[in-house]
Structure 1
């Protein structure tokens, strides 16, 4: 991580303040301040490794779209109770903890638990870790959902089309 002297100065001042307002961890804040003050570049990442990589605007919007879709799938299921489709098939499985999906998993957890959005979406399992990558499957499902005449009032046919899109076309 490259930091300018000005950025380091800002961090040094922040950690000076933390030393005063957080006396229980003053020693840790002092060490961190010294890392930035003295310019020990190797240790910069040690002090910032608890900060997650950013989740892009596009990824955040994708997560919201996926959560919207699962909300509508569950409403459609409850409305039609379609034969041959089990309730668990419309439960939101989450995202994988892999590098490619961890940010989206974290954003989904934040949106549901901290922002209070999509609290009515049923989640498959105890958490939002799908234990397998699902981004591509969700993309296909969103495309199929977009074909619906009314995305917020799904027909039984819409439900089947969106759920079938989970499976890769080569595997059908």
Structure 2
């Protein structure tokens, strides 16, 4: 992660404030502050994971997947005779936290912050953060 000295100073000050505002996580913030202040390149790469990015295209793909499951769910509930189709076949089962954590995080954001897809009852497939 490339940062100017000014950006590093600003981020270091933010971590310093966070140690005061969130004493339960103070050690973590002190560690990150030290990494930023001293510019430890290897450890600064950890920040790239915290400040990850999903491209607009990837976000749209995840939304398309969620919309597909929404359409499947609506179609299934509108069937007069759904006996031949198990509900699990049209239910979103979630993304894998080990290999698709970025997608899972985006779905959590869409559900918990944006309030979308609540009708899909995703609480059982969205493990706690």
Counterpart position of 1:58: 57
Task: Return the alpha-carbon distance in structure 1 between the equivalents of residues 119 and 63 of structure 2.
Answer: 14
> What TM-score do you get using the length of structure 1 for normalisation?
0.58
Is contact 1:91-1:122 (8 Å) kept? no
Q: Determine which structure has more spread, i.e. the larger CA radius of gyration.
A: 1
Counterpart position of 2:103: 104
Greater share of helix = 2
| CA RMSD between the two structures | 2.9
User: Taking structure 1 as reference, are residues 116 and 27 closer, same or farther at Cα in structure 2, changes over 3 Å only?
Assistant: closer
- Deviation digits for residues 128-155 of structure 1 (CA, Å, limit 9, x no counterpart): 58xxxxxxxxxxxxxxxxxxxxxxxxxx
Counterpart position of 2:68: 69
- Deviation digits for residues 84-104 of structure 1 (CA, Å, limit 9, x no counterpart): 3222211112223354x3322
Higher RCO structure, 1 or 2 (CA under 8 Å, sep 6+): 1
Is contact 1:67-1:121 (8 Å) kept? no
Alpha-carbon shift at residue 21 of structure 1 (Å):
3.3
Task: Return the alpha-carbon distance in structure 1 between the equivalents of residues 89 and 33 of structure 2.
Answer: 51
How many equivalent pairs are there?
A: 126
Counterpart position of 2:86: 86
